[in-house]
Structures are given as structure tokens and as C-alpha cells.
A = this chain, B = another copy of it.
Amino acid sequence: MDPDRLCVVLVSTRNPLNIGAAARAMCNFGFHRLRLVHPYDPAFREARSAVGASSVLADAKVFATVAEAVADCTLVVGTTAIGHRQPQHPVKLLKDGAASILQALNPPSSHHSRVAILFGSEKVGLSNEDLSHCHWLMHIPTGDQQKSMNLGQAVAVCLYELARDTATPFPAAETPRASAEEVERLTAVLLETLHASEYIAAHSVESKEENIRRLLRRMRLSTEDASTWLGILRQVLWKLRSKS
């Protein structure tokens, strides 16, 4: 995926803090082409919410119309959290829409084709006129209780979905499991401790040797944790014996 070919287009945004928040989310997920169609507040470039994203705000381009903002794009996608009762467009769930967008951004497609994702204003979203510039719409699946998302959060969720499958998982931490020998050594010291503390005498059934052996094996201890427990029990045992 070439992130340089994706344009985030904010249409008629009222609150410059939302423009800053969108810029921050773009940086979080590795995108940087921000375009604005007649933003309400011309001082948006100073938005404090653009933490770590001042270069995105500085480079943002301002356009008078949606047509100009998307002129160099071969795919134009509108976003809607509301859904539309009488959809004039095909509507895709975000995860399916993002897959289509990634396909358009992948190297086999033309190197110069850009994709625009449009986000409407805080109060009313994209107008029918804005939507008529779109090839299809993308819907963030919000529930009935509150369908309308905050603009900065909507941008973050959409860009997260685009970046979601490019991240490499963390390597599993290297914590080798304790060997049977190590767990058996621990079992022996625990049993000694149970005798010394007279737990065995008080709880005859639960303390049967095989119950204790299973109890320790269910813990799936690492070598390191088995060693810590061994040290703890040896100290306790020493203290118990020194008292008697």
C-alpha cells in the first residue's frame, strides 16, 4: 500500500480541533495528505489537537469545492455513520470498503491513481451534492443508541482499518516453561512446607501429594517463575523450622 496516494478530505469542518485531531490520526497510521474544502475557521493550522502532526496541518491544501479537492483522484469514497434510508449509492461496511481502497492503493494498480476519502461536517455530514462526487459510500457500523460519531474519532477508525493488517504481530516473549524436573523440585519443597506449617494435618484430603502435584502443573510456570517460587518456599520453610 502506498499511503502517499490516499487523500483525507474534510468537507466544511466547523471545529478546527477536529481538523487537528484528524491530522494526528493520519500521523498515527502513516498518512499525510490532508485536503480541506472550505473549512469554517481559517486558523485551523494552529489547532492544538494536532499533537505530533504539525507538518500534516502545514501541508494541508484548501479547496473551494469538492470537485477541485478530488480532481486528481480515480476513486472517491464518502463516509457515513448514519447510513442512508434511500441510498443513492452502494454502501459498504468499513472493513469491506477499506479492502477495496487498499486494492486501489496497491502497486499493481496505476501508480498515479489517488483515492479520496470524504468526511462531512460535524452537524450534518456530507450533503447530497458532496455525495454525488463519490463512487460509493463507506459505513462505520455504529449502533442504534448513538449512530453519529465524532469527526476525529471517525477518521481514526477509518485509517486504523486501512492500516490494520499491515502491522506485524509482537514476537511472543521468550519465557520458556519450567521443565518437569524443576516443577517436581518445587513440588517437593511445597510439600515440605505444608508439613512444616501443619497445613497437611489440618486439610487431609486437599493436601494429598497428587493433588498438590496437579495444582502446581496447572500453573504452567515459566523457568523464571518456578525459580522465584522455589526461593520463596525455601525461605518460608527455613523460617518455619527456625521457629520450632
Residues of A within 8 A of B (CB): 21, 24-25, 27-30, 49, 51-53, 81, 83, 87, 90-96, 139-143, 145-150, 152-153, 156-157, 160-161, 163-167, 169-170, 172-173
CB atoms of B24 and A170 under 8 A apart: no
* Min C-beta distance of A164 to chain B, whole Å: 6
Rank and list the top 3 A-B pairs by shortest CB-CB distance, nearest first.
Answer: A141-B167, A27-B146, A52-B146
Which residues of B have CB within 8 Å of A92? 169-170
Cross-interface CB contact of A164 among B52, B87, B95, B172, cutoff 8 Å: B95
CB atoms of A160 and B163 under 8 A apart: no
CB atoms of A142 and B28 under 8 A apart: yes
Cross-interface CB contact of A148 among B51, B90, B96, B173, cutoff 8 Å: B51
Closest to A153 in B: B156
* Min C-beta distance of A119 to chain B, whole Å: 14
Which residues of B have CB within 8 Å of A152? 150, 152-153
CB atoms of B49 and A150 under 8 A apart: yes
CB atoms of B25 and A90 under 8 A apart: no
CB atoms of A149 and B28 under 8 A apart: yes
